[in-house]
Amino acid sequence: MFSFPNIAYFIPLLPLLGFLVNGLGRKHLSKGAIAWIGSGVLALAFAASLVVFLNLPSGGPTLLNAFDFIRIGELRIPFAFQLDALSSLFLLIITGIGFLIHVYSSAYMHEESAEHYGRYFAYLNLFIFSMLLLVMGANYVIMFIGWEGVGLCSYLLIGYWFRKPAYTQAANKAFVMNRVGDLAFLIAIFWLIARTGSVNFVDLPAALSSLSSSDITWITMLLFVGATGKSAQIPLYTWLPDAMAGPTPVSALIHAATMVTAGIYMIARSNLLYTAAPLTLNVIAVIGIATALLAASIAIRQNDIKKVLAYSTVSQLGFMFLAIGAGAYGAAVFHVMTHAFFKALLFLGSGSVIHAMSGEQDIRRMGGLKKVLPITYFTFLIGCIAIAGIPPFSGFFSKDAILLSAFLKSPILYGVALFTALLTAFYMFRMFFLTFGGTFRGTDEQKHHLHESPLAMTLPLMVLAVLSVIGGWVGIPELFLHGGERLIEFLSPVIPVVEGHAISHSTEYLLMGLSTGLVLSVIFFAWTRYRQYRSEESSAPFARLLENKWYVDELYQTAIVQPLHRFGGWLRSFFEPKIVDGLIQGVGRSIRYISQQIRLLQSGQTGNYALWMVISIVVILSIQFFVRK
Amino acid sequence: MPINYYLFLSLALFTIGMVGVLTRRNAIIIFMCIELMLNAVNLLLVAFSKMHHLKNLALNASVGTDGQLFVFFIMVVAAAEVSVGLAIIVMMYRNIHSVDIQFLNRLKH
Amino acid sequence: MIALLLFLVPLIGGLLTFLPNKSGMARSLALGSALLSLAGVIAGLTLFKQPLYWEFDAEWLQTLGSRFSLKGDAMGMLMSLLTSIGVLLAVLGSWNNDVQGSNRFYGLLLWMQAGMMVVFLASDALLFYFGWELALIPAYFLCSIWGGEKRIAVTFKFFIYTFVGSVLMLIGLIYLQSLTPNHSFQMQAFRNLEIPESKQVWLFWLFFLAFAIKVPVFPFHTWQPDTYEQSPTTVTMLLSGVMVKMGLVAMIRWMLPILGIGVFIWSDVVICLSVIGILYASLIAIRQDDLKRLIAYSSIAHMGLTVAALFSLSGFSNNSNVVLQYHQVGFQGILLQLFSHGINILGMWLLADRIERRFGTRKLSELGGLARTAPTFTIFFLLIAFANIALPLTNAFPGEFLQFNALFHAQSPYRFVFLVLAGLGVILSAIYTLNMVRRIFFGETNQATENGLRLSTAECLALSLVVGLILVFGVYPQAVLDFTNDFSREYVKAIDITRFLAK
């Protein structure tokens, strides 16, 4: 029961239990109890994940079959879990970071009433449960269940403060945009069922032979569209910045570390299919780099601390897709991991700042927080360095792996990716200097309230900071350390390693040196520019374009939402009552009209009746006489 | 003598009666036309009963009498009808001083 | 025996309910009858599930070739379970309503149940028709006596509309009877018929119109939003939760196996209509301010998908097991969805009714903020709303999943277009459902919603039952799938038209 592999059942069940207890008992439990339960189940789940991770047999996956979800004749979709290198890695990330964020939340949300506090933790636990289903599922359907489940929790948590209409709007937007992707995902599953009769991951290698190349292209494309929804890529990325309406720990957990990387996970899971679909890979690479660039360009001109991080997340996800497009699934997963560390750190750090600033999120009104929030300041700095990609911080190794894979695919991709990486360093440090450097620019009342966050909040920050530093060391390239790239090797049962670096060591050094040097100079540039705050109001059209996020939201609004809305209104108020119902009513009305006319035959004149009688008799007789025989 | 003569005579009488009923407005005339139609039928009945059973007459003297019996029925009914009908017409005349059937069509309202 | 009981209990129960004049008495009698039939069904599903308990056959109208024969196959059993749950929920949901003349109200309700039971269980065409009308007429009276302001005009439309359909169907049934060798109305005799293609082409429409009006399929749906809006919600529950399923069950039982070729010829047209219906109803639902009308349109959209999936089963397999397997998968989804959608929409109406009674309005624009003042109610509503958009781990998901799968395997050149367009309905359903949730529950409260809403014990019980069913069959749909497995396997063989083409 408590040994491998059955202990894996506890990993999703514990958060589910936490959800039930906190959800049902939220009116009866104290806040302390709620926090302990919420975080405790995560700690236990993390321990169980650790057991799974350590006991993982090398080679093939371990399958756990709970029961048959759907079984009809030959079609069998088991409710089964798959434990292998990829899923166990994700399990660790999810439960580990999830635990830290639960602990953080217990302090961050302390102003909520017990009932809402319980609701919050229940949602959070439910999210972890769904996310675990997503990564543990042994087939696409179970994955899809988790997939929609995390979408649901994201919806619930974005709209957690449901009294603000804008927040619930954002929640709706997130859910609906995710649904667009989900539809494509579903169709891909049907396609797979139609061609191979199975949705299990373990059957994929065998199924590959029964798929034609156009099948594979279509399936992978559709799956990718699904991934663009969940992982916020062009064209379905606009929900993620709006999703910052949720509480900050939620943004850290769902919209940075875990849920949004589900798309990467799904594609890495299906890497066999993708490798067989070069066309799709090209599309993914282009979309990935385009998203990375677009989001990074927007982030430069954002002033909301969480919005900057949100666009940064979109941009980093774009990087991961770029890696996938270049065929480097391992690098993508590596970046998922390091990104989870430093982005969770940054979000939680921003939460700490917001907490200290009594809810203020505009970096123009911050500044000088270095002295009052030393721990936050220091950990945030580590996060920024990590994301900017300076050795030996974690972000460097994963980003370098991605840049290298892009270089191998096409120098143009590499160039754009490098440029985006520089943008990343720029906007991160812009935000950093505006927030922590200079002098305080907020109101006096805010200044009075400034304080470092409690230990429950700073402790996760510190842990994540350590991880952000050392997290990349599992993937140190061969170049520096013989027997490096441990992560790639670890993942090799799931993601086959493509042999042969077609690149010399000197080129590799050159690329690394180039990117590091450029990043450092960009940081220096940002320092000179934003060391002291100065207003950035600018009427340059390009700046306005960036400030308004390239008007993509407006475009969607006028091109899709409004027309649909208007069309629906037209159907409701004109087409339905006048045309469809009018047709039906018309039948009724014409019958009424005809009977009005026929009524006149009933004249009341006996002579008339007699005449009709005679005429009819004559007609009948003549029919009888002439027609028959 | 072929039956055709009787048929045509009867048909002519019936048609005259029918046209009379349909076109005239005077109740008495309509009444007389109805009598005419009845008599046309009577004529037909008598003619058929005589002619149709001509062959069997030698075997059975009473054959064909049922048709003629019907004629008596009709005459009785016609007589009863006349007595009632004329009474109605007389009442009508007393009330409205007219025997025009169009005059009473407001009964329908 | 059970089959007969399921007909007799509500019939006699209804009769008894008419007698007392005190409202509490009638209510209790109705509850008793509803519980008794539910107990009957459950007993029939567990202890007495051998066919012999579910079959009943007696002399009826011998000169017409019709017998009183009831036969509960897996679909019939499932639907009678749904019916008895529906009536129970309806009675529970209206437990605290002060119904004027409640003895007549509940009596008619139970008679409606009797009629629906006959429809679901009849294996004789004339008996089926009899049940069809028996269910319709009480519904007419219920709506026109206890309905809203415009009830007379609306129920008249409803009645005429469905009645036109019924008459067409009756003509079709009589025609089919005249074709059978021994002039019988028995289902088996109908199924054995080999009707030439030229006749099936038009016979199809006689039946299809009748059933399409009931379901309803676009563009025959206009009676539905009006009727749902004007009827008392208790009746609406039965209308949309159960009675609408009559149309589908009728298509499954009396069209596909009998008029296979006609169905195949027209299937593209029907799927096309259904898909248009899905998008059309969803788009209207997005712009709907009236809660009841919104639910009505959402129901049209859901049923559209089921009809589309059903007609995509039509085709020839050339005796290939693979094709039959696809068809079975799709058909299982349809059966599952018949049941699940019934449960969900019943829950939806319970909630809508509660809102209307508490706040005296159905307008979304006049509600808001209930999540703060009525948290328990909100949880129920959210769960049922998520079932309505077929979120995984709710009961609607496996059904819709399998139905889409069926659509994917339709023998039509346009199947992919159909699939994608129908899939857009999934997105639209999320839009209108979440919009509804947002406008009722989120945001600030107003004067009306300030004081929140309390659920009575009876309502809590009813809603818990619904939510329980949603979750149980959402996590373990295999329970239903196992139950209908044999039936569906036989059924897809019966509707396969390969045997006609061979000749």
Chain B touches chain C, with at least 3 Cβ pairs below 8 Å, answer no
Q: What is the pLDDT of residues C323-381, one digit of tens each?
A: 888 889 999 999 999 999 999 999 999 999 888 888 888 888 888 888 888 888 999 99
Q: Do B105 and A610 touch (CB under 8 A)?
A: no
What integer is the mean pLDDT of C431-442? 91
Instruction: Compute the Cα dihedral for A83, A85, A90, A91 and give only its sign.
Output: positive
Residue in C with minimal Cα distance to A183 = C423
**Domain at B78, CATH number:** 1.10.287.3510
Count how many domains chain B has: 1
Both A539 and A563 in a single domain?
no
Question: Which residue positions in chain A have pLDDT lower than 70?
Answer: 1, 481-484, 499-502, 536-539, 604, 628-629
Residue A227's closest CA among A193, A256, A267? A267
Instruction: Flag whether A481 is in a domain.
Output: yes
The answer to whether residue A592 neighbours chain C at the CB level (below 8 Å) is no
Residue owning tokens 């919420």 = A38
A607 touches chain B (CB under 8 A): yes
Domain range for A567: 556-627
Nearest to A315 by CA among A339, A341, A282, A351: A339
End position of a domain, from candidates A547, A572, A588: A547
* Alpha carbon distance A132, A46 (integer Å): 11
Residues A510 and A394 in one domain: yes
Cα–Cα distances in Å, from A440 out to A348, A355, A377, A435, C129? 21, 16, 14, 9, 81
- SS3 of C186, please? strand
Q: DSSP assignment, residue C349?
A: H
Is residue A166 a part of any domain in this protein?
no
Retrieve residue A14's tokens: 């514990």
CA of C414: how far to CAs of C4, C307, C403, C404, C410, in Å?
44, 16, 16, 14, 9
* Residue A432 domain-assigned (yes or no): yes
Q: Give the residue numbers spanning the domain of B73.
A: 4-108
Amino acid symbol at C161 = Y
What average pLDDT does the structure give for chain C?
89
Summarised one tens digit per residue, pLDDT across range C286-309 is 988 899 999 999 999 999 999 999
Q: Do B18 and A607 touch (CB under 8 A)?
A: no
Q: Structurally, how many domains does chain C consist of? A: 1
Q: Which residue of C has its CA nearest to A193?
A: C405
Has residue B62 got a pLDDT over 80?
Answer: no
On the CB side of A586, CA atoms within 13 Å amount to: 7
Measuring CA to CA, which residue among A288, A61, A267, A66 is closest to residue A147?
Answer: A267
Q: What average pLDDT does this structure show over B7-19?
A: 93
Q: Has residue C178 been placed in a domain?
A: no
A565 lies within 8 A of chain C by CB: yes
Tokens of A386: 């990590």
**What's the N-to-C CA distance of chain C in angstroms?**
40
The answer to whether B102 contacts chain A (CB < 8 Å) is yes
- Closest-approach residue (CA) in chain B for A603: B108
B107 — pLDDT class (breaks 50, 70, 90): low
Dist. CA C332–CA C315, nearest whole Å: 17
pLDDT tens sequence across C161-182: 888 889 999 999 999 998 888 8
* Integer CA distances (angstroms), A125 to A38, A40, A111, A134, C383, in order: 7, 11, 20, 14, 17
Q: Verify whether the Cβ–Cβ distance C375 to A115 is below 8 Å.
A: yes
Question: Is residue A232 a part of any domain in this protein?
Answer: no
Q: With an 8 Å Cβ cutoff, is C408 touching chain A?
A: yes
Would the CB atoms of B22 and A610 count as touching at under 8 Å?
yes
Same domain, A424 and A482: yes
pLDDT for the residue numbered C454: 84
- Cβ-count burial C409-422 (b if 16+ within 10 Å, e if not): bbbbeebeebbebb
Residues of B in contact with A605 (CB under 8 A): 102, 105
Question: Could you tell me if residue A213 is inside a domain?
Answer: no
Our count of domains for chain A comes to 2
How far apart are the CA of A221 and the nearest CA of chain C, in angstroms? 15
Helix (H) or strand (E) holding C486, with range, is helix C478-495
Q: Which of A527, A547, A567 is the last residue of a domain?
A: A547
Residues of chain B numbered 1-20 and touching chain A (CB < 8 Å): 18
Give the CA distances from residue A424 to residues A299, A385, A581, B10, B44, in Å, rounded to whole numbers and listed in that order: 8, 11, 58, 116, 117
Domain end marker among A487, A514, A547: A547
Give me C135's structure tokens.
């269910």
Which A residues 167-186 touch C at CB under 8 Å?
168-169, 171-172, 175-176, 179-180, 182-183, 186
* Within-domain flag for A63: no
Terminal-residue alpha carbon distance, chain B: 54
**Per-residue pLDDT, C2:** 83
Min Cα–Cα distance to chain A from C256, Å: 21
Q: Cβ A605–B105 below 8 Å, yes or no?
A: yes
Is residue A176 included in any domain, yes or no?
no
N-to-C CA span, chain A: 93
* A273, A219 Cβ separation under 8 angstroms: yes
What residue type is C501 in one-letter code? L
A72 interfacial to chain C (CB closer than 8 Å): yes
C:187-226 residues touching chain A, CB 8 A cutoff = 218-219, 221-222
Number of other residues whose CB lies within 10 A of the CB of residue C217? 25
Interface test with C, best of A70, A139, A150 (most C CBs within 10 A): A70
A545-579 confidence digits (pLDDT tens): 888 888 888 888 888 889 888 998 898 888 888 88
Distance from CA of A197 to the nearest CA of C (A): 10
* pLDDT score for C112: 92
What's at A265, amino acid-wise? Y
Q: Is residue C242 part of a domain?
A: no
Residue A516 in domain: yes
Q: Angle formed by the axes of helices A31-55 and A10-24, to 10°?
A: 170
Could you tell me the pLDDT band of residue B52, with boundaries at 50, 70 and 90?
confident
Give the residue numbers spanning the domain of C346: 262-503
What would the DSSP string read from start to end of A58-72? Answer: SSSPEEEEEEEEEEE
**Mean of pLDDT values over B78-100:** 89
Measure CB to CB from residue A183 to each of C426, C442, C478 and give the nearest one.
C426
* A588 touching chain C per CB within 8 A: yes
- CA–CA distance, C69 with C55 (Å, rounded to integer): 7
Give the number of beta-carbon pairs within 8 Å between A and C.
136
d(CA C410, CA C481): 21
Angle at A317 between CA A314 and CA A319, to 5 degrees: 115
Instruction: Tell me if C484 is assigned to some domain.
Output: yes
**What does the alpha-carbon distance between residue C146 and residue C99 come to, in Å, rounded to a whole number?**
8
Residues in A closer than 8 angstroms to B23, CB to CB, are 607
Q: Are residues A416 and A464 in the same domain?
A: yes
Q: What residues of A are in contact with residue C443 (Cβ under 8 Å)?
A: 162-165, 168
Q: Which residues of A touch B20 (CB under 8 A)?
A: none
With CB atoms and an 8 Å threshold, state whether A163 touches C369: yes
What angle do helix axes A85-108 and A31-55 make, rounded to 10 degrees? Answer: 160
Contacts of A193 in chain C (CB under 8 A): 405, 408
Q: Token pair of C4, please?
A: 């007969």
Q: What is the mean pLDDT of residues C229-253?
A: 90
Q: Taking CA atoms, what residue in A is nearest to B106?
A: A604
| Chain A, window 111-170: residues with a beta carbon less than 8 angstroms from a chain C beta carbon | 115, 141, 144-145, 148-149, 152, 155, 159, 162-165, 168-169
C198-214 mean pLDDT:
91
Among A606, A609, A621, most B C-beta atoms within 10 A, so best to mutate, is: A606
Note whether residue C170 is domain-resident. no
Please name the residues in contact with A616: beta carbons below 8 A apart, sequence gap of 6 or more.
none
Task: Enumerate the residues of chain A whose CB falls inside 8 A of the CB of residue C441.
Answer: 162
Closest by CA position to A461, among listed A356, A390, A378, A391: A378
Tell me chain A's radius of gyration from C-alpha atoms.
Answer: 31
- B20 vs C415: CA distance, rounded Å: 73
